[in-house]
Structure 1
Amino acid sequence: MAIKTMRAVAGSMLAFALAFGASAVAAADPQPVPASNIDVQKQDASITIHKMLNPDQTKTATGEEDPDAAGTPLQGVTFKITKLNLGLDSNADLERAAQLTPEAAGGLKTDTTFQVTTPEAGVVTQTVPVGVYLVEELTPAAEATLMAGGERINPKDLVPAKPFVVRVPMRNVAGNAWNYDIHVYPKNSTDALIKEVKDAGKNGGGIIAYTIKVAAPLVQGEAYRTKFVVKDNYDAAKLENLTVTSVKVGDQLVDPVNYDIADNDGELTVTFKTGAEGRLVYDIPNNFEVAVTVDARIKSTAQGEIKNKAFRIDRDSTMESDSTKPTNEVNTYVGAVKVVKKGLGGEALEGAEFELYRCVPKAGDKWELKGEAIQTLTTIKDGTATTKPLHVTDFEDNSTTVADENQNYCLKETKAPAGYVTPKDDAAITHFTLTRENLGAPGYTTIKMLPEITNEPSDTPDLPLTGGQGVALLVLLGAGVGGAAVYSARRNSTKA
C-alpha cells in the first residue's frame, strides 16, 4: 500500500495514534472475575504487540489475536513494557486494574521493565509474569529505520501511539477461562494532516464549518519550534466571511493572544506568535494535534464545486527552510435550478409563486414537505424562476452518504398566474433531485432545468384588481355586460 494512501486513510482515525489501551481493554472485561481462578505465580505469560500503520478501522480490544486487524505492519518501533505495583490477588485488585489510566499508572511503576522492537512483520512477543503493565511507545531516533509496506518512513513524520495499560491475564471472549497470552494492537499514523467539512443541508447563504487537524512534527533534543502556521486555501469567488472559531492543541483551547489571523482573499492563515530567540510563545508538544475550526458562508452567487485544502507550514531551530505539507481536499457542491411555467398551449406564464422545501417520500408516490420553506420563487415574463444555490442531494460532508432528509427537494405552487387555477394538495407538489452529474461535471456550471410545470386556465374569467392588463379586461367586460361583470369577478374570486 502506498504511503499516500495510508495517509488519506488516517483521516478517519487521527486518534493521535489510537492504541487499544486502558479504556478499550477494560471494556472487553466489564465484570470482576474471581481472583482465585488466576495463577498469580505464572511466569511465562506473554504480551504480543502488533504494530500497524494507518489502519482504516478500529475494533474493541479483546486481548485475543485478530487475524483481520487493519493497517500495514510497521518495522522498527520500540516499546517499553513496565510492570506496575499492582497485584491481581483479589476482586478489588481486578477492579482497580480495570479502571487504571496510563496517567495514573505512572505512579505505580516498578523496576521490572522489558524493551522490544518490532521486526519486519510488525509483531513482537515478550514473555512476562502475571501482572499489570504499562506499555509505552518510545520516540524513534532521527536515524531510526522504520519500514512499512516496503517504504521507509521518516521518524519525524511518525505519530506514536499513546501509552496504554495491559492486564495479564484477561478473560477470554467466551468468558469461561483466563487468557495469559495477550495481543494488543497500538496504532500509528504518519504525520496525519486532515481536512473535514460539515456542509449538510447548507445552500447559498448558509454557513459551512471546516476543521483542519494537523500533527505537530517531532522536535528533538534542544531544538525548538520557530514557526507554525495553519493555512486554509479557499475559493473566494464562492465563499465569504471566513471566521476562525477555535484553535486547539490537544484538548486545550488556545487563547487568541497566542496567534495571529490573516485573510488575504482566498488564503486564511493562523500563525502562532514567536517571542525570544524566535521560539513559539505557545509551546506545542511533539505529536500533539493542532485543530483549527473555520466557518464560511456560501455566496448567493456560488455555482458548482467548492474546493478546499489546507496546509501546515512549520520550522524548528535546526531547519534552514520551512516544511510545507497539505491536507486532503474536501469539496462542497451547490447549483441553481430553473423552473419553467407554461400554460396548456405552451405560453409562458408570469407571476406563478412557489415555495421550495426539503421533502421525504410517503405512500402512493407522494411527498411530505419537511421544515420551513428554503426559498420562495416567482416566475418572470418568460415563465421562468431560478433558485439561489442549492446543495446537491448526492453528496454532503465530503461523502456520498447523505441523510434521508437531504436527498430530495419539492416545489409547492402557492399561487397560479392570473387567469389560471392554483393546484391543490399533492397536485401542487413537484419533486426533484440535484446531483453532481446534473451540474455538468467536471465544470459543474450547468443550471438544472426542471420539466415544464403547466397550469389549467380558469373556466371563468379571473379579474385581478391591480395591473394594467387586469384593468383593461375589467373595462371590456363592463362595456359588454354591464353589472354582470362585477358579479362574475366576485364569483371567480370566491372559486379561486
Structure 2
Amino acid sequence: MSTNRTRLQRFAAGVGAIAVAVTGALAMGVASADEGEEAVASNVAPGQPGAPTAGTLTINKYSGGHTATPDPKDLMNGVEFTVTRVGRLVAGVCTPIDLTVDSQWAGLTDLFDSAPAAPTGDFCPTTTTYVGWTVDGQVVFDLPVGIYYVVETGDNGGNNIVSKVPNFYVSIPTSAGEAADGWNYNVVADPKNQVMGEPSKVIADQPSALVIGSTVTWTLTVPVPTLNNDEKFTEAVVKDVLDPRLAYSSSVVKINGSAIGPDNYAFDPNGLTWTFNDDGRELLDAAQGGTITIDLVTTVTSVGDGAIPNDDYSSTFNGTTVPGGPVPYTYWGQLKVLKADNSSPVKYLKDAEFKVYLPNAGGQCEATAPATGAIATGVSDANGVVQWAGVTPTNVLGLWIANSNSPLTAPTKDYCLYETKAPAGHTASAAGQKVTISVGTAAVKELTVVNYKTDGPDLPLTGAQGTAAMTIGGLLLVVVGGGAIAASRRRRNSVS
C-alpha cells in the first residue's frame, strides 16, 4: 500500500505542478492547490485507512488578479459556478472516476490538458452536478473525492464580466506539493477575472452657436476590456440613443487617440450604433486595456422642458453590455418679442428690426448695439411678433443657457436685446435691454417693446383755419379793388 500511496502522490504532484498558480494556471484550464489559504493536507492517500472521503473546492471571484487581501469593491457576488463530476465510459455507462484505484489516475494529465474543453472520448460528464453562487467573492463546494469539471455559468450580480473564468478540471484531493509529504483535500482556485469598465460621456463647453439649430459635441469614452488567455473579441458595439430633441450630425471614432475609418465598423444613424467588424475588432484585440472615443456631433432641434440629457448609451463586448455612467446635459430657453406703440388700445407694429448679443465682459449691455457679433436678427410682422431669421420655430427664439457634465438646478443666462431699426414714424431706443433666459418653454421670456409715435410741432397758417382766413382776406382785397375802379370811372365821366 505504501508503494501505491507513493505512486499516487508522485502522479498528483505532477498534476499539482500543472495547477500551481491559478492566475496563470486557469489560463491552462486547471485549478490550483493554494497552500496559503488554509489548505488542509493529509498524509493519507485516497482510499487508504483514515483517508478523507470528501474535500472542498473554494473559488475566489475577484476583479483583476488574485490577492490575499482583496479590496472589498473588487469582490464579485452572485457569480454562478457549476461543478460536474467526471467519469469514464464503462460498458456505455458514465461511471465516476474512483481515485482510490491506482489505475483510475491513468490518462488524467491528458484530460486536464484538454481544458477548457468538456470531457470527451473515454471521459464523460456524469449526472452529478453542484451549483453555487459567490457571496463576498467566494463560493465553497463540498465534494466527494473525485475528478470535477468546473464551469462559470452565470452572473446574477451585475459584475460586468467580459471574460469568464475558463472551464477547468480539479481533483479532490491533489498533491500538497512536491516539497510536502501529503495531500490537499481542500483545493482553492483563484482565477484571474476580467470585467468591463463603464463607458462615460462629457459635453463640450458650449454649442457651435447660441441659437436653436446649433450643434453640440459630446465625447464618449469606452474602456476596451482586457481578455483572458489570448481571447479575441467576437463582438464590440457602442450605442447611443439620442433624446428626441437631438439629431445626429456627424461622428469621429478613435482607438487610443487615433482616428479609424468607417471601413472598420458599421454605423446605424437611426439607432446611433457603431458595430465593429472583423477589421475593427482586430484593432481592438491589439488595444486591450485602451479606450475607444467617439466625438459625436448632434443638432439641437427643439427646446421642450429645456433640460436635454444624453443618458442612454452603452457598450457591449463579447455578449456583455454595460450601460453608461455620468449623464451630461445641454440647457436651452426661449425669447419672444412683441413690437407695439404707445396708443390705447395698443397698436402692434411691423418692420421693426431687433438683434440679440451677448453682454460685454462685465456682464452689461453696451449703450448701443455693437457693430459685429449679433447672435440673432429678427423683424416684427403685421401682428408685431418678431420673426427670427434662420431658426425654427421663427416666432420664438431658442437660446442656449448652459452645458454641464452633471445636472444643474434652474440655470439661467443673460443676453442683450437691441432695436436696431424702428417702424416708420416711430423712434427706437438705442440702449440695449438685458434679458435673462430661463430653462424650458414654460419659462419663455416675453417682452413687449414700445415705440412712441413721432409727432411734429404745429406750423402757423396751416390747416383749415388758416386757409379760410386767407380766402376771406383775398375776397376783401377783390371787393376793395373793384370799388376803387368804379369810383375812378365815375370821376372821369363827370369831368367829361
Normalised to the residue count of structure 2, the TM-score between the two structures is: 0.47
Q: Which has the larger radius of gyration?
A: 2
Normalised to the residue count of structure 1, the TM-score between the two structures is: 0.47
